[in-house]
Amino acid sequence: MVSPVVADAVAPVVAGMVSPAVADGVSPVVADAVSPAVADAEQTVAGELRLLAMLLGAVLGTFVAWTSPGHQGEPRWVLFAVLAAVLGAASGEAFGFGAARWRDLGTVHRVRLYQVLHLVLASVAVAVGLVAATPYVLGEQGLTGRGVALSAIAICGALPSAATLGAVHRVARRPLAGTPGEQLNTLLSLRRLVSRLLNQLGLLVLLVTLVNGAATGWGADLPKVAVLFSGAVASFVVGVMYVPASTTLRRRSALFVDRYFPLSAVDLSQLVSAADDRAKLEKLLGIDQTTFGELRTGLVIVSPFVVSALAAVIPKF
């Protein structure tokens, strides 16, 4: 028979030795086997939803092209329909990609949607305002129903990316926790994340400009300058999404390098080597770049001007 005093003293020790899985009646071996299976199932579901979003976007883009007035017997409509379907599919893929990156970021950093909602709404307000201002800039013929519909598809596809960039902005505003190695890993991960999001959004800008180029010369008398204007508007909207996250992350990275890799305390014989190592780290973190340079690399600024030249050629085919 065990004394109540001894039992009370042993109970916490035994409880600490028992894993939560055993306490819940699940074997640790089974729990370890279930976790990867659950993760694989989540990845499978996410991939299927991403494919579904692509298909839905392609259907919506095709529907917009099919319901466009004046396409009967117009061979150039085929190119417009293909580009509209591709834009819809890319928007759906961008929606799934941004949602997946939001989920990945949320597993490491606690960011809620309401905390970045103001940044998302600001991006949407800028996009809607610029689209609404099109008739005042290009005239009544500069804005068509199909243009509004395709713009709405592209904006919806970019919303998760805007939320994720807002989350990066919020994370980078605060001091990072952990050891210097953990902080560096976080900064590198965030840098890769914003670069991937920029490339995804840059593809939408390219397709928006192309589809407007394919819409000229048939149906509604869309002016050719609308091609360049649509690319510039899309670029500006993506810039509104991207610039706060990029500049804040670059500033946080610069503070990290100044704190843990100062050159003031380095011996003269090691100064050149330390400066070289610091320059390599700054390059990895993107400190040596500018926001405009990153936007240009992501085809957000360059693509409208390149495609505007193609827009003059498209109506000839």
Give the model confidence (pLDDT) of 25-35 as tens digits. 444 444 344 45
Tell me, yes or no, whether 15 lies in a domain.
no
DSSP state of 176: P
Q: What was the pLDDT predicted at 307?
A: 52
Task: For residue 166, give the nearest of 139, 128, 137, 193 by alpha carbon.
Answer: 193
Tell me, yes or no, whether 8 lies in a domain.
no
DSSP string, 11-63: HHHHHHHS-HHHHTT--HHHHHHHHHHHHHHHHHHHHHHHHHHHHHHHHHHHH
Average pLDDT, the chain: 80
CA 67 to chain centre: 30
Beta-strand (E) ranges in 84-235? none
One-letter identity of residue 156: C
Tell me, yes or no, whether 272 lies in a domain.
yes
Q: How many domains does the chain have?
A: 1
Query: Rounded to 5 degrees, what are φ and ψ at 264?
Result: -70, -30
Task: Please answer whether residues 153 and 60 qualify as being in contact, where contact means their C-beta atoms are separated by less than 8 angstroms.
Answer: yes
133 vs 212, 224, 230, 266, 305, CA distance in Å? Answer: 17, 17, 11, 56, 21
Range of the domain at 189: 52-316
Q: What was the pLDDT predicted at 14?
A: 38
Tell me, yes or no, whether 306 lies in a domain.
yes
Task: Please answer whether residues 46 and 160 qualify as being in contact, where contact means their C-beta atoms are separated by less than 8 angstroms.
Answer: no
Token representation of residue 100: 């997946």
Please tell me the distance from the alpha carbon of residue 245 to that of residue 256, in angstroms, as a whole number: 16
Q: What was the pLDDT predicted at 223?
A: 79
Tell me, yes or no, whether 30 lies in a domain.
no
Please tell me the distance from the alpha carbon of residue 210 to that of residue 203, in angstroms, as a whole number: 11
Task: Please answer whether residues 65 and 144 qualify as being in contact, where contact means their C-beta atoms are separated by less than 8 angstroms.
Answer: no
**Which residues lie closer than 8 Å to 315 by C-beta, 6 or more apart?**
76, 216, 217, 218, 224
Tell me, yes or no, whether 42 lies in a domain.
no
Task: Please answer whether residues 138 and 223 qualify as being in contact, where contact means their C-beta atoms are separated by less than 8 angstroms.
Answer: yes
The low-confidence residues of the chain, meaning pLDDT below 50, are: 1-34, 300-301, 309, 312-313, 315-317
Tell me, yes or no, whether 32 lies in a domain.
no
Task: Please answer whether residues 285 and 191 qualify as being in contact, where contact means their C-beta atoms are separated by less than 8 angstroms.
Answer: yes
Task: For residue 298, give the nearest of 208, 168, 211, 195 by alpha carbon.
Answer: 195
Predicted confidence (pLDDT) per residue in 150-203, tens digit:
999 999 999 999 999 999 999 999 999 899 999 999 999 999 999 999 999 989
Tell me, yes or no, whether 157 lies in a domain.
yes
**Which residues lie closer than 8 Å to 39 by C-beta, 6 or more apart?**
none
Maximum distance among all alpha carbons in the chain? Answer: 98
Q: What was the pLDDT predicted at 71?
A: 64
Task: For residue 161, give the nearest of 115, 105, 209 by alpha carbon.
Answer: 105
